Structures are given as C-alpha cells and as structure tokens.
C-alpha cells in the first residue's frame, strides 16, 4: 500500500518533466518557453502548476448559499483536483495535436479529449458553450464595427457641417467682395469718363 503513494515530491504535487519535446503528456505546454517556471531540479513550481486559490474559492462560492463558508483545506483540495483535471485533459488533447503534427491545441481538441477520456457529460455542453462564445464574439465584433461606423459617420457629418458653414462664410465674403469689386469698377468707369 505504501508503494502506491509515491514519493514525497509526487504526493506534494511536484511533477518532473524529463523530455518536454517527446510529445507525451509532459508536452502539454511548451515548457522551453517557460524556463522560469521550472526549478533547477527540473520540477515545475507549485504556483505555476496550480490555478490561483482565490479564483478556485470564488468559483466554489458561486454554487454555495451566500452564508456558506469554505475551509482552506477544501479550497486547496479543489485547487489540486481542478488543476490535475485540466492537465489530464490538456495532455490528451496535446497528444492528439502532436500525432496530427499541429502545434496549437484548440477548443475542438479539448472537447475531443473530454469525450475520449470518458467525460461525455462535459464534452457536449462544452461544445454548445463554445458555439455561444463564438456567437458572442462575432456579435461583439459586429457591434464594434457598427459603433465605429456610427462614430465615423457622425464625424463626417460634423466635418461636412463645418465645411458647409465655412462655405457659407466664404460665399458671403465672396459676394461682398463681388459687390465691392463691382462698385470699384463703376467708380473707375466714372473716373475715366470724368477725365
């Protein structure tokens, strides 16, 4: 029974990644870009392996009644579980990407991994949620385009109005100048005739 517990570092949540480029579960993240997350023994630091406990606690509180309290031990246990679950599913998705010679894990890969690992109850709702998120992003993008168009149209109208006002002023000045020029021409004619 003691043999099944693993060594102390394993029980404490330390995971060793021998060959990060092998494409196995250890390549769930491109660790070569995150050398600062690995200590000098080749172990990923605890704070980089786990989700922030404050976020885990906040999510747990959302499902509980307002007056419910959550012990630190419960938060830490949940933190370990969800972090391990994410690593497990992401590792499976990463293996699929590696076999398909792709470098980017996408939402479809995660849904596939959930189903492949027997979490069908999560995979289907996640696919639906993914479609909702995509729809919201498209709508937000369209709203942004419309908003930018309205802002631009308003700016064009304001500029046109200013140009129109400037044109009216210039036309008024031009008309006044025209009258003055006509008056000057008439005076010049009178002067020439009177000479």
As beta bridge partners, residue 87 has none
Within-domain flag for 13: no
* Closest of 83, 29, 37 to residue 56, by C-alpha: 83
Of 76, 91, 117, which marks where a domain is finished?
A: 117
pLDDT of residue 167: 76
Cβ atoms of 96 and 112 closer than 8 Å: yes
Residues 188 and 134 grouped into a single domain: yes
pLDDT of residue 18: 35
Cα distances (angstroms) measured from residue 10 to each of 49, 156, 194: 13, 65, 117
- Please report, for the domain that includes residue 50, its CATH number: 1.10.20.10
Within-domain flag for 31: no
What is the average per-residue pLDDT within 135-161? 81
| 188: pLDDT strictly greater than 60 | yes
Residues 126 and 182 grouped into a single domain: yes
| 28: pLDDT strictly greater than 80 | no
Coil, helix or strand for 135? helix
Count of the separate structural domains present in the chain: 2
Distance between CA atoms of residues 138 and 8, nearest Å:
48
Residues 171 and 143 grouped into a single domain: yes
Within-domain flag for 78: yes
Within-domain flag for 140: yes
First to last CA, the chain: 132
pLDDT of residue 173: 73
Question: Domain span at residue 170?
Answer: 120-194
Within-domain flag for 22: no
- Joined together, the tokens standing for residue 170 give 């210039």
Within-domain flag for 80: yes
Confidence of residue 102 (pLDDT cuts 50, 70, 90): very high
Confidence of residue 190 (pLDDT cuts 50, 70, 90): confident
Give the other-Cβ count within 10 Å of 38's Cβ. 17
Q: What are phi and psi of 69, to 5 degrees?
A: -115, 150
Exposure string over 130-144, b if 16+ CB within 10 A, otherwise e:
eeeeeeeeeeeeeee
Give the whole-number percent of the chain exceeding pLDDT 70: 75
Residues 131 and 164 grouped into a single domain: yes
| 155: pLDDT strictly greater than 90 | no
Residues 130 and 189 grouped into a single domain: yes
Within-domain flag for 126: yes
Cβ atoms of 49 and 83 closer than 8 Å: yes
| 57: pLDDT strictly greater than 90 | yes
């Amino acid at each position: 029974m003691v043999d099944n517990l693993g060594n102390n570092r394993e029980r404490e949540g330390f995971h060793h990644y021998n060959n990060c480029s092998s494409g196995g579960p250890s390549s769930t993240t491109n660790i070569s870009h995150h050398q600062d997350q690995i200590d000098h023994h080749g172990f990923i630091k605890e704070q980089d392996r786990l989700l922030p406990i404050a976020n885990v606690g906040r999510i747990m509180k959302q499902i509980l009644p307002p007056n419910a309290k959550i012990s630190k031990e419960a938060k830490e246990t949940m933190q370990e579980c969800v972090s391990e679950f994410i690593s497990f599913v992401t590792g499976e998705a990463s293996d699929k990407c590696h076999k398909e010679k792709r470098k980017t894990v996408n939402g479809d890969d995660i849904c596939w991994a959930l189903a492949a690992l027997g979490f069908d109850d999560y995979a289907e709702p996640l696919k639906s949620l993914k479609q909702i998120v995509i729809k919201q992003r498209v709508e937000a993008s369209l709203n942004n385009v419309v908003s930018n168009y309205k802002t631009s149209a308003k700016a064009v109208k304001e500029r046109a109005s200013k140009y129109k006002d400037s044109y009216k002023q210039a036309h008024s000045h031009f008309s006044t100048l025209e009258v003055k020029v006509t008056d000057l021409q008439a005076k010049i004619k009178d002067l020439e005739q009177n000479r």
